[in-house]
């Protein structure tokens, strides 16, 4: 009686094993016991040949089930196997258009949304920074932002400022928009206020350039190691925009020697002249 039961179980197990013997099941069974067994479903889709046709490569892709390694971000058209939206039907190594036009078929042209466009964006070097297929990093980046930026920009000038650089983080894009912006420095709107007082919240009246977040009219975020990172340490900082003749014509400005900021707060204040 007992041994018959044992045989029965053995039989069932064997049947289950054979039924389940698809590649995927084998993986599940094996990976239950062993670490590091490659999952065929999630095998990375790496197609290296330059001259594969779209048809060939989609077949290859279908075999791999189109699922990339865990932890990869997939560019939507790549994941949907819409290879032809970017590639030549006959040769997968070629693209149907050059960048940035290729990307602007689906993405908004940065020239429309920014007054100033970043050099490599305007020049169509999108894939210098982004992988058009997949990446382990957010936003399909090829490297962490900071490393990307320092490929082309000289770290010796960028890192001179003692305050603003923390190389462990993607600090560049905290302050800069990588694609373009309002002025040539492409500031991220409101970024200074991530760490500093928001003057708009403290003062009733805001100084013009502060209201416009044109902080770099007076400060340098990188280069200067002067007190308060000021571009100039004298009244010139104000006289770059305010006409000397007009200022010194007023009664209350007759002493040309005094510092503007002894009487005025440079950012804003309780009255419209931000006098202290």
- Positions 74 through 113 that interact with ligand HEC (CB under 6 A): 75-78, 81-83, 85-87, 92-93, 95, 99-100, 102-103, 105-107, 110
Q: How many residues does the chain have?
A: 276
For ligand HEC, the closer CB: 92 or 203:
92
Spacing of C-alpha 140 from chain mean position? 9
Dmax (CA) for the chain in angstroms is 116
Cα separation, 144 vs 148, in Å, equals 6
Nearest residue to 174 via CA among 84, 100, 166, 205: 166
Considering only 5-13, 20-28, 33-41, 70-78, which stretch makes contact with ligand HEC by CB under 6 A?
Answer: 70-78
As given in the structure block, the two tokens for residue 18 are 């054979």
208 contributes a contact to ligand HEC by CB under 6 A: yes
The dihedral through the CA atoms of 123, 127, 128, 130 has a sign that is positive
184 contributes a contact to ligand HEC by CB under 6 A: yes
For ligand HEC, the closer CB: 14 or 89:
89
Contacting residue, 121, 180, 203, 268, with ligand HEC by CB under 6 A = 121
For ligand HEC, the closer CB: 3 or 98:
98
134 contributes a contact to ligand HEC by CB under 6 A: no
For ligand HEC, the closer CB: 37 or 124:
124
Q: Is the peptide bond before 100 cis (omega within 30 degrees of 0)?
A: yes
């Amino acid at each position: 009686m007992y041994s018959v039961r044992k045989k029965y179980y053995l039989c069932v197990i064997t049947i289950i094993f054979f039924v389940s013997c698809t590649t995927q099941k084998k993986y599940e069974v094996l990976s239950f016991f062993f670490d590091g067994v490659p999952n065929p479903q999630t095998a990375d889709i790496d197609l290296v040949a330059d001259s594969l046709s779209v048809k060939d490569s989609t077949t290859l892709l279908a075999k791999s089930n189109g699922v990339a390694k865990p932890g990869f971000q997939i560019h939507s058209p790549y994941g949907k196997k819409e290879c032809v939206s970017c590639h030549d039907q006959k040769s997968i190594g070629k693209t149907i258009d050059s960048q940035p036009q290729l990307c602007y078929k689906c993405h908004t042209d940065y020239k429309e949304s920014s007054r100033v466009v970043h050099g490599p964006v305007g020049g169509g070097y999108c894939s210098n920074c982004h992988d058009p297929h997949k990446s382990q990093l957010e936003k399909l980046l090829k490297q962490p932002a900071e490393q990307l930026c320092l490929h082309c920009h000289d770290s010796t000038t960028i890192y001179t400022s003692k305050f603003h650089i923390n190389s462990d983080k993607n600090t560049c894009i905290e302050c800069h928009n990588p694609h373009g912006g309002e002025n040539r420095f492409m500031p991220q709107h409101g970024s200074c206020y991530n760490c500093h007082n928001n003057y708009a919240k403290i003062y009733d009246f805001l100084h013009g350039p502060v209201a416009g977040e044109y902080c770099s009219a007076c400060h340098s975020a990188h280069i200067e190691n002067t007190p308060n990172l000021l571009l100039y340490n004298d009244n010139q900082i104000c006289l770059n925009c305010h006409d000397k003749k007009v200022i010194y014509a007023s009664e209350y400005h007759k002493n040309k020697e005094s510092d503007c900021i002894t009487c005025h707060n440079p950012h804003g204040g309780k009255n419209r002249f931000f006098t202290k």
